[in-house]
Structure 1
Amino acid sequence: LIDSKKRARAFGFVQKHLDEGRQGYLICPLIEEDETGLASVKEYAGLVKDCFPHASVGILHGKMKPAEKDAVMKEFSEGALQLLVSTTVVEVGVDVPNAVIMLIENAERYGLSQLHQLRGRIGRGSFQSTCILVTDIQNEDTLKRLKLFRDTSDGFQIADADLKLRGPGDFFGQRQHGLPQLTIADMSSDLEVLKKAQECAREIMSKNVLDAEEYRGLRAEMRRLFAKTGSDNVVL
């Protein structure tokens, strides 16, 4: 886990592996440069060619046609490409045992489970492998999350931490569908309480009495919670 000031040293470490005949991935969150300042594949590819002038470099991202992506992956899997600059499209279904090093830019932009999926692309052969996370974010919670990822390769522990740290809406990708973030309850340890709460909610809904005076506070709280999600599907 490093900041961008150490990127040059990290590139030197990557080059060491290339010199030994190995291959590597360089992961960026964006395809094209935008106002966020995050690393993009197209911009990063130019930097990589300058820093690795003798390496064969390929580019892979989701906007490429399937045939183009297949051709690049074929070259990489056959060893014709030493470095692959890519978005997260490589997180599943890519098996290149000779790829032993991965550098992930703007690591704070990814969930722990996604980082674990990305890291799973290396270490698939008999060679020692290394995953390098690059971030300049100094937020305490973010660093805590990334350090946890750095210090363990246990997928179950990572998934549990991801669920606790990000909340169920973010974890399951459903925040935009109207699932409020849970502040106190824990999806991993309070399932029984949540189940009872769901049963109570169903009972209230089945009676169709939400407009009764006794539920005025509940209606107000539901409006407040769902307003945060941007959901316009709840009529109260």
Structure 2
Amino acid sequence: MAMAQIELSDVTAVELVDSLPLVRRADPHNLSFFDGAFDFAFTAYLDDALFPWRVVEEMERTVRRGGFCVVAVDECGGDDVREIARLFLKSKLVDVANLQWMEEPTLLVTRFEYASMFHTVTDWYSAYVSSRVTGLPNRPHVVFVHGHCTTQLEETWTGLFSGIRYAKNFTKPVCFRHTILSPLGYEITLFNGLSGEIDCNGESPHSLWLDPDNTKTARLSKVVSLLKCLR
């Protein structure tokens, strides 16, 4: 539902090994999808593919007529661009743009409402729990998709996370190596606790990953402790 709030739905990713939810184990050289299954296909690993032409062929096969295929590569010249474009036998080159790369894991926060204390606290909670449940080793960066005015509460964000940026301030297209969509406040246990009791029986991040359960809120006490330390 968090993706739906920013107008993303039916998103599927593929990886050679088992990975996070929404990621299907598959070989990009031989995608297990029907012809024309997607509106849009993206890859940032064409350079690493064993057979780049085959990856491109599968992208074109699984994208509907009128859809888009996007390839992100490291810095390259005009000859490299033309070489990549020649791999696309059924498509035409629409545009070439320089990208800004974000190498470090980044949390995308889709609501940033300082007008409401509830949404501010739930954003802190959701962002922190998202980083822990997904097993990030260090504090991630945060990008606010919908930016609002800043207040003294900004200090808490900078205390909890490595860096804070606003999507509206990016000056050119950005490619993220690793992004995590933080859930909205209405979708988490803190919101459910407004009208009922919160079950504080917890589980490990790995257990919640394999079997999601909204009643497992062991992270709640840790977030409260963190906020106390920042005072």
Counting helix residues as a fraction of each chain, which structure ranks higher? 1
TM over 0.5: no
Which structure has the greater CA radius of gyration? 1
Counting strand residues as a fraction of each chain, which structure ranks higher? 2
TM-score, structure 1 as length reference = 0.28
